[in-house]
Amino acid sequence: MKANDVRAKTLDELRTELEALKKEQFNLRFQKATGQLENTGRFRQIRRDIARIQTIMRDKRMTATA
């Protein structure tokens, strides 16, 4: 997910995307615990996407209040 794609979304869209990523992260943890995880690089990608969305959401809230 590119930062420009994330910036183009509204706050509501970002919240739903963030929720979906957190659910996927939770499921990946279970897959890892049971030995079913195939793509270990997806952990890193999801963590970074979550951080990117949270950063842009915070930026949008700060600019809205300013």
* Closest-CA residue to 51 (of 13, 17, 28): 17
> For 23-38, how does the pLDDT look when each residue is reduced to its tens digit (9 = 90+)?
999 999 999 999 999 9
Distance CA 58, CA 50 (A): 12
| Domains held by the chain: number | 1
Q: Report the CATH number at residue 40.
A: 1.10.287.310
**What range defines the domain where residue 27 resides?**
1-62
pTM listed for this prediction: 0.90
Rounded mean pLDDT of 8-32?
96
Round to whole Å and give the CA distance between 22 and 47: 9
Backbone angles phi, psi at 10, to 5 degrees: -85, 170
Q: What is the mean pLDDT of the chain?
A: 94
